[in-house]
Amino acid sequence: MFSPKAVYVHIPFCEQICHYCDFNKVFLKGQPVDDYIAACETEMKETVKQFPYKEIQSIYVGGGTPTSLSVIQLERLLKAIKNVYKPCEDVEYTIEVNPSNMVEEKLAVIKEAGINRLSIGVQAFQEELLRRIGRNHVEKDIYDTIDKARTLGFENISVDLMFGLPGQTVSMFKETLIKAIQLNIPHFSAYSLKVEEKTVFHQLQRKGKLHLPAEDDEVKMYELLMNVLLEHGYNQYEISNFSKSNYESKHNLTYWNNEEYYGIGAGAHGYVGGIRHSNVGPIKKYISLIDTTGRSANEQHIVTFEEKIEEEMFLGLRKLEGVSIERFINKYGKSPFDFFGKEIKHLEIQGLVEIVNGQMKLTRNGLFVANEVFEKFLF
């Protein structure tokens, strides 16, 4: 019996659109937010009816900008989630936070709802760079938000950082890392910029107006990221994620362990009952479909055995501990070598993967060309 242990709820509303973001999002003003929240609650209930759960271990409310909702709307959304999902006692319950719109009242509502982890979209500390990438917070907002959160008792705080941004230098990223470490928080996610279609940056790139750092400088930023965080006691447990002991993200590990999860909301992706699905993106269409059918899947795909094996490899290799050969055999009846023997041998010779204590994992050199490694595990 399928039994998802994780829930993702998508809130697509933003007060400002970041230039790099390709997630499903719309400007908040004039949107039917209350109808959207009601539709999300209906989708939660209908999905759970079809695919019941035994125990929910992680809930993640992302976006968009969930904290762009009013206090009343936020309270209503979190109450709806609580009405449907009965989390286990040590659940990891995360919400994404924008430093520019956090007030004590919103944080109090979040805390009261049982949320125990904040993911704060910092990205950088240089205000000129923040403006360049479309962020609407300033450096002071970062410190104020974390101070307010700590006052209310939040300890599990994660900060998102970005590198390879237009106009960003290696020294600027080093400054960002130094200031980030001084926050004394237990978790960082740090991503290199990827220019996606349907973003402001993509439009600028097509016009020849997007000036990105040289590839060598981006490599130096990633090396700096790994070295500096290691020096300050952070364990790199995934290509882009670093934590103090016992603060790894349970929710993201659900994805990397190739496990099932509910995906709720417009444009959300889910994986339940052996089926991956994506919901329709337009807000009004999502609400209409939910009101008439209770479901809003735009696409559904039954994951084949071969696809499960592919995903097990390239998702698992994102983790620094890699893919457990024993776990793979238990799930699929054969070893990874039975499916990808030649590819693995070749990657070992190149020094990009290694086998250590029954775990197949990327080497340090492999981390820099991870996507090229992952391609080798596609049938």
At residue 2, the pLDDT reads 60
With cut-offs at 50, 70 and 90, classify the pLDDT of residue 87. Answer: confident
Residue 285 has pLDDT above 70, yes or no: yes
Residue 124 has pLDDT above 70, yes or no: yes
Nearest to 247 by CA among 236, 256, 239, 258: 236
CATH number for the domain whose boundaries are 321-375: 1.10.10.10
Residue 295 has pLDDT above 90, yes or no: no
What is the enclosing helix (H) or strand (E) of 332? helix 325-332
* Domain positions in the chain: 6-256, 321-375
Mean pLDDT of 332-357: 97
Burial 177-215 (b: 16+ CB within 10 A, else e): bebbbeeebbbbbbebbebeeebbbbeeeeeeebebbee
Q: Hey, which residues does 249 pair with through a beta bridge?
A: none
With cut-offs at 50, 70 and 90, classify the pLDDT of residue 102. Answer: confident
At residue 101, the pLDDT reads 76
DSSP state of 154: -
Domain formed by 6-256, architecture = Alpha-Beta Barrel (3.20)
Mean pLDDT of 207-217: 95
pLDDT digits (tens, 9 = 90+) for 126-167: 999 999 999 999 999 999 999 999 999 999 999 999 999 999
Residue 169's identity, in one-letter code, is T
Q: Distance between CA atoms of 209 and 211, rounded to whole angstroms?
A: 6
What interhelical angle do 305-316 and 336-350 show, nearest 10?
A: 30
Mean pLDDT of 193-208: 94
Q: Match 């070992």 to its residue by tokens.
A: 348
pLDDT digits (tens, 9 = 90+) for 185-199: 999 999 999 999 989
Count how many residues are written for the chain: 379
Q: What percent of the chain has pLDDT over 90?
A: 94
Residue 351 has pLDDT above 80, yes or no: yes
